[in-house]
């Protein structure tokens, strides 16, 4: 009887896949207005062309920022770890994985600012340009863990195989919106949510148009804002329609117009 053996996952060799992962990694930084340095772009190019391994790229960019004061530090270091998570074939749908992604993404940055992998211990607001400076109401810090447990447990009961395409899009939009609204971390919530949702969908076998996260990461974030903002005196009600348009393009290859200007309120 032939024994079935495990295959060790090695560094990705396909230049097209590597290019895609790096594009997503850089694109996601735009949710916070961050751009990679020229040095980082050069390293990623060498990695794509198989001139450097991922480990060499990660080591060199860490050494570079340890020796230089560069405003692109956060974009560079987080991007390398976004790439690492995207290329990692492992995944488990639970809160521990969600927390672990945050810890991995921000562990090389200011510990006090990000507190990587740890839920926040205070409440906060954030002035949103698309809301004319108003804020979304995030979950209270003392309810973060219980709320996420509820959302994750409810999601585990969903049988996506028996949903229509419309039901599927509505469901994944709703789940994404809900865990983002909790905003469990001090910083980096949108990037962590985006990576987790991508990995979740891939783990279920969905074919994803990953260019969407590369090209429309800011739209994705602002769609989450609109999905969680209500102001009745201004006649504004929370709506998932923008998030649904994003996921229709992501999963169904639709061609909805994703214009960030449409998300601004008057």
The residues spanned by each domain of the chain are 9-89, 119-266
Which DSSP string corresponds to 198-252? HHHHHHTT----THHHHH-HHHHHHHHHHTT--BGGGTB----HHHHHHHHHHHH
The tens digit of pLDDT for each residue in 63-80 reads: 999 999 889 999 999 999
Mean pLDDT along residues 258-263: 95
pLDDT given at position 2: 55
- 29-33, 117-121, 258-262: least confident range: 29-33
- CATH class of the structural domain 119-266: mainly alpha
- 13-27, 45-59, 129-143, 245-259: least confident range: 13-27
d(CA 67, CA 99): 29
Whether the full predicted model's pTM is greater than 0.85, yes or no, is yes
pLDDT given at position 261: 94
pLDDT given at position 211: 79
């Amino acid at each position: 009887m032939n024994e079935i053996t495990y295959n060790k996952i090695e560094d990705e060799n396909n230049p097209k896949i590597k290019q895609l992962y790096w594009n997503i990694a850089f694109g996601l930084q735009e949710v916070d207005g961050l751009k990679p340095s020229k040095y980082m772009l050069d390293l990623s190019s060498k990695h794509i062309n198989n001139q450097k391994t991922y480990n060499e790229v990660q080591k060199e960019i860490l050494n570079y920022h340890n020796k230089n004061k560069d405003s692109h530090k956060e974009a560079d270091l987080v991007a390398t770890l976004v790439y690492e998570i995207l290329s990692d074939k492992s995944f488990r749908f639970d809160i521990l994985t969600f927390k672990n992604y945050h810890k991995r993404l921000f562990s090389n940055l200011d510990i006090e600012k990000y507190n990587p992998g740890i839920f926040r211990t205070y409440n906060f607001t954030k002035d949103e340009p698309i809301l004319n400076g108003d804020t979304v109401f995030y979950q209270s810090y003392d309810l973060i863990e219980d709320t996420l447990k509820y959302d994750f447990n409810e999601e585990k009961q969903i049988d996506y195989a028996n949903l229509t395409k419309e039901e599927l899009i509505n469901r994944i939009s709703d789940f994404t919106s809900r865990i983002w609204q909790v905003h469990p971390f001090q910083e980096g919530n949108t990037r962590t949510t985006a990576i987790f949702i991508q990995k979740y969908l891939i783990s279920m076998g969905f074919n994803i148009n990953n260019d969407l996260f590369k090209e429309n990461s800011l739209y994705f974030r602002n769609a989450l804002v609109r999905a969680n903002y209500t102001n009745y005196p201004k006649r504004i009600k929370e709506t998932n329609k923008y998030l649904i348009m994003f996921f229709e393009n992501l999963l169904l290859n639709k061609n909805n117009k994703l214009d960030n200007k449409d998300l601004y309120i008057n």
